[in-house]
Amino acid sequence: MINPKDIQVSSVIKKLLTGITGLSLVMFLIAHLIGNLTLFAGPEVFNAYAQFLHHFMHGMFIRFAEVGLLGMFLLHIWSAVSVQMSKRRARPARYAVEADAGGASKKSFHSLNMLVSGGIILLFVLVHLNHFKYADHDATMRLSSGVEVNNVYQLVVGSFQANFGYVLFYMLAMGVLCSHLMHGIWSAFQSIGFTRPSTLPYLNLIGMAIAIAISVGFFLLPLLIFMMRGTFDPNLGPDAIRHAATHFLPHFPPHVAG
Ligand code: HEM
């Protein structure tokens, strides 16, 4: 009979939990990146998108998503840290050489530093939320549909354009995110049961490709916004923007619940 208190069983359960929560967070990152790309369609589209998310299903969607996301983060950190702790308890003396072994072991710089990269990402997320989600920013904008919405576009674009240090902070953090995901996605595939030796090299490649696509996307976003100073005026009026946005989205403006 399976006993979850058995050290090996509990370690398998925790690895599975780390993998499932990690992959769910990767899904969030992909959705977040796609949503953030609407920044390039101008304030009307981005702010309408943010407003839509906040009002979808009478606000229930965002509430569920936020609680789910927080739960995923906490479970991911707890399970990952406790798997590492039990590994260290089982082998108190560290390897004489903690080096990149490569090959089938896939021991690498990325895998050896998962706790450090995870900790840096956690710090990044706290700074990020403090700045973009919980910022004291009450500027609003009237959409072409007449709805008055929070001008999150102005906050995001204004922040990246005003301070290259902030852009640099994002780019460095995305380097760390890339390192974390390079090992994390592949490892999660294995934890959820993809262990056939013939498929492992492909999974490793797929994991790396997803890691690079996500990090490069998030890396380029602040940099491009910074480089497009002048064309990307956070104070542009709705008329000019509506004109630019119709160019990108033929069925503009999107319907926004008031
Ligand atoms: C250039 C990159 C990014 C931009 C422009 C950006 C923008 C934003 C904005 C504007 C919000 C607030 C949305 C709202 O009004 O509720 C937000 C929320 C959030 N972001 Fe980002 N983000 C970026 C990268 C990231 C990365 C790399 C992560 C994670 C590693 C991340 C994690 C989050 C989380 C967890 C939330 C809170 C979601 C919620 O509770 O609704 N973001 N982001």
What string of pLDDT tens digits covers the 258 residues of the chain? 556 666 666 888 999 999 999 999 999 999 999 999 999 888 999 999 999 999 999 999 999 999 999 999 999 999 999 998 887 777 665 555 555 545 444 667 777 789 999 999 999 999 999 999 988 878 899 988 888 999 999 999 999 998 899 999 999 999 999 999 999 999 999 999 888 888 888 999 999 999 999 999 999 999 999 998 876 554 554 455 455 545 444 343 444 333
Q: Is the CB of 125 under 6 A from ligand 1?
A: yes
Q: Which of 124, 169, 144, 134 is nearest to 249 (CA)?
A: 144
Q: Is the CB of 46 under 6 A from ligand 1?
A: no
CA of 118 to the centre of ligand 1 (A): 17
Q: Where do we find the tokens 């590994």?
A: 87
Q: Is the CB of 66 under 6 A from ligand 1?
A: yes
d(CA 140, CA 205): 44
pLDDT for 94 equals 58
d(CA 63, CA 16): 26
Q: Is the CB of 55 under 6 A from ligand 1?
A: no
Best probe residue, ligand 1, of 62, 70, 128, 174 (max atoms within 8 Å of C-beta)? 128
pLDDT for 7 equals 64
pLDDT for 253 equals 40
pLDDT for 4 equals 61
CB count in 10 Å sphere of residue 90:
10
Q: Is the CB of 158 under 6 A from ligand 1?
A: no
CB count in 10 Å sphere of residue 118:
19
Q: Is the CB of 17 under 6 A from ligand 1?
A: no
d(CA 103, CA 234): 49
Q: Is the CB of 50 under 6 A from ligand 1?
A: yes
pLDDT for 160 equals 93
State the architecture of 7-90+110-248 in CATH terms: Up-down Bundle (1.20)
What residue segments make up the domains of the chain, in order of their start?
A: 7-90+110-248
Residues contacting residue 242 through CB under 8 Å, at least 6 positions apart: 44, 144, 252, 253
CA of 128 to the centre of ligand 1 (A): 7
pLDDT for 240 equals 52
Q: Is the CB of 133 under 6 A from ligand 1?
A: yes
CA of 64 to the centre of ligand 1 (A): 16
Q: Which of 23, 59, 26 is nearest to 188 (CA)?
A: 23
Q: Is the CB of 132 under 6 A from ligand 1?
A: yes
**Residue with CA nearest ligand 1 atom 41:** 66
- Collapse the DSSP code of 140 into the 3-class scheme (helix H, G, I; strand E, B; otherwise coil) and give the result: strand
pLDDT for 243 equals 53
